[in-house]
Chain A
Amino acid sequence: MRSPFRSLRRHPLTYLTLTAVAFFSAFPIYWSVIVASHDNAALAEVPPPLLPGGNFFANVGRVFDTAPFALALLNSVIVAGAITLSVMLFSTLAGFAFAKLRFRGRNALLLLTVVTMMVPTQLGIIPLYMLMIKLEWTGTMYAVIVPALVSAFGVFFMTQYLSRALPTELLEAGRMDGCGTWRLFWHIVIPAARPAAAVLGMLTFMTAWNDYFWPLVVLTPDNPTVQVALSQLASGYVRDFTLGLTGTAVATLPLVLIFVMLGKQIIGGIMQGAVKG
């Protein structure tokens, strides 16, 4: 049997470098947990505490008293959930058509999709805001959800995946059995698309959960998403780092836990998309 230390002996510097980088990657998140579990006085100590304290739940209580954090969490779950489902569905629909169906204008439409992926989103933010005023959606979750219901990246991602992973023979066999295009979609395309759609869903959920700038523009402080609530918490007039970092921990840890559990698939998805990109 191979010794587990053989590769360590062969690349000692590599392991040392990677360990250092892993430390710097994880430390700020760990630090937020430390600060969140102490009181403000502990921050002034030299040397500062390096192990979690016992104040976490008291601090969480203060967070929920200071900002509408429960509402913010609920809003974020609704927003991120709705956007994720919609992006998965519409991207698979369009990706299937782009990957496997022939129609006039297909290449031009696909090109348009890819090109707009490269345009900075901030270019259109003023008219988008004016549109939200017209629709009277400012201050509501519609303003955050509806513009994000579709994603050019998602369509591109699913097109790439389905053109590789969906055998054309399978579709032809379905046609022979008398399936219309919709039945093909439900019974053949969706099962084939599931792995990629799951990755897309996870990426979309993370992006929607972490989105800050657009929600800040269109929402009001009394009805925020979790990131907007967090920024209010952290930018009050009184410097209260414990409060800010406790909010950070509450807003971040659920996502970090999901990520650590599903990390393998998410990483696979990013690397797959990268090769094609």
Chain B
Amino acid sequence: MPRESSSSTRSFVEQESRPPAPARAARAGGGRRPLVARLSRRLGRTATPYTFVSPFFLLFAAFGVFPLIYTAWVSLHDWNLLSSENPFIGLENYRELFTDGYFWNAAFNTLSIGLLSAIPQLALALVLAHLLNRPLRAQTLWRITLLLPNVTSVVAVVVIFSQLFGREFGLVNLVLGVFGIDPVNWQAGVGSSHIAIAVMIMWRWTGYNTLIYLAAMQAVPRELYEAATLDGASGAKQLRRITIPMIRPTIIFTVIVTTIGSMQIIAEPLLFGAQVSNGAAVTGGTDRQFQTLALYLYEKGFRSFEFGYASAAAWVMFLLVVLVVGFNYLVVRRMRGGLD
């Protein structure tokens, strides 16, 4: 940090609250201070706002921003961990990627699992928050129970649910059997594996989104509901006509965050596949039926160590995230017309 800029900002800061000169003079002659106090005073004088933000930004630049940008550079090379030379190949990785069937299969799976988990999850969260926004007993107990799944680690979630979705002794098939449905081999099919993974994601995140909606709902003026109740509007109508329009910014926020999260799903398919065999883990099932984009990136980057190719995949994935987030944003904004 150049010394000039720091000293100029210091005076800028102290301008706000500089004590009058006599007061300063009185303190300066105010007897001897212990060494520690004098040292901390000296530090205090040289401390600038940049000192306060620099630990964050130095570490953030090295381990957060630099890797993000360097990915683009790596993606332009035939870069492999095991080879000694990494020649520049321009956009070759990207060209290969666009004709890579496994990549588009992973893109489809990501979209499918994302839709299956995000839409029911957010809709359910909205309804639950609406219910919790009433004068109920044991508010804290409900909230703690709802958030319990979010405290559970993703590994634990998949281990537990893989057992529940087990083909032979799983509880899910046992319950389905009561209704006369034959046991499902959840990992084998495209649809069934996507549903199983979507259930795990939903279980972990519905409560979290419920609390976020609840927080937003508590800021909606009570009088609106009281007036609606006097007019005889039902709970469902109040949710549609008052709550949803009033908390729209929060809904947009959760849609964006959930979309970004959905595009990065990796641990669920990886561990769900590991329940079949260790070989099926990184491919997302024996026929890649539930390999997500992030898992494909992992396979390319950390199993075959094709860093260049995996970096290109990461960038295309990022562009897809931006596209999908932008699309969802427009959709949620458009819903305004239909709701108001």
Contacts and interface: CB of A to CB of B under 8 A. Distances in A.
A66 interface: no
A213 B155 CA distance: 10
A58 interface: no
B274 A21 contact: no
Given A180-B45, A244-B159, A124 B64 contact: yes
Contact of A248 (B81, B160, B171): B160
B14 to A, nearest CB: 7
Contact of A175 (B17, B74, B264): B17
A179 B212 CA distance: 39
Interface stretch (B98-106, B115-123, B135-143): B135-143
A22 B145 contact: yes
Contacts of B212: 270-271, 274, 277
Interface in B38-61: 40-45, 47-50, 52-53, 55-57, 59-60
Nearest to A262: B144
Pick the most buried of B208, B215, B314, B317: most chain A CB atoms within 10 A of its CB: B215
Contacts of B68: 116, 119, 123-124, 127
Contact of B156 (A184, A230, A259): A230
Contacts of B147: 259, 263, 266-267, 270
Interface stretch (B162-170, B183-191, B332-340): B162-170
Interface in B289-336: 294, 297-298, 301-302, 307, 310-311, 314-315, 317-318, 321
Interface in A10-59: 11, 14-15, 17-18, 21-22, 24-26, 28-29, 31-32, 35, 43-44, 46-48
B161 to A, nearest CB: 7
B301 A93 contact: no
A263 B327 CA distance: 36
Contacts of A118: 256, 260
B271 A231 contact: yes
B229 interface: no
B43 A182 contact: yes
Contacts of A24: 203
Contact of A234 (B19, B159, B215, B314): B159
Nearest to B166: A241
Interface residues of A, number: 106
B166 A119 contact: no
A256 B151 contact: yes
Interface residues of B, number: 111
B301 A120 contact: no
Contact of B307 (A15, A130, A206): A130
Nearest to A249: B156
Secondary structure type dominating chain A contacts: helix
Contacts of B250: 274
A119 B152 CA distance: 24
B277 interface: yes
B169 A48 contact: yes
A237 to B, nearest CB: 7
Interface string B62-97: 111111101100100000010000000000000000
Nearest to A97: B52
Contacts, number: 318
Given A102-B12, A128-B67, A180-B47, A252 B149 contact: no
A126 B211 contact: no
B64 A116 contact: yes
Given A101-B49, A149-B59, A28 B19 contact: no
Contact of B317 (A123, A155, A181, A227): A123
Contact of B152 (A29, A47, A263): A29
A102 B13 contact: yes
Contacts of B246: none
A105 B283 CA distance: 46
A277 B215 CA distance: 11
A131 to B, nearest CB: 7
Contacts of A114: none
A270 B211 contact: yes
A164 interface: no
25 contacts: A21-B128, A28-B203, A32-B159, A44-B168, A97-B50, A103-B50, A109-B57, A120-B321, A122-B317, A124-B64, A124-B67, A126-B74, A127-B66, A128-B67, A150-B56, A178-B19, A181-B47, A212-B267, A217-B298, A239-B275, A241-B166, A267-B143, A271-B214, A274-B212, A275-B219
Interface of B: 5, 9, 12-14, 16-19, 23-24, 27, 40-45, 47-50, 52-53, 55-57, 59-60, 62-68, 70-71, 74, 81, 128, 131-132, 134-137, 140, 142-149, 151-164, 166, 168-169, 171, 174, 203, 207-208, 211-212, 214-216, 219, 250, 253, 256, 260, 263-264, 266-267, 271, 274-275, 277-278, 281, 294, 297-298, 301-302, 307, 310-311, 314-315, 317-318, 321
Interface of A: 4, 7-8, 11, 14-15, 17-18, 21-22, 24-26, 28-29, 31-32, 35, 43-44, 46-48, 90-91, 93-94, 96-98, 101-104, 106, 109, 113, 116, 118-131, 133, 146-147, 149-150, 152, 155, 171-172, 175-176, 178-186, 206, 209-210, 212-213, 217, 227, 230-231, 234-235, 237, 239, 241, 244-245, 247-248, 251-252, 255-256, 259-260, 263-264, 266-267, 270-272, 274-275, 277
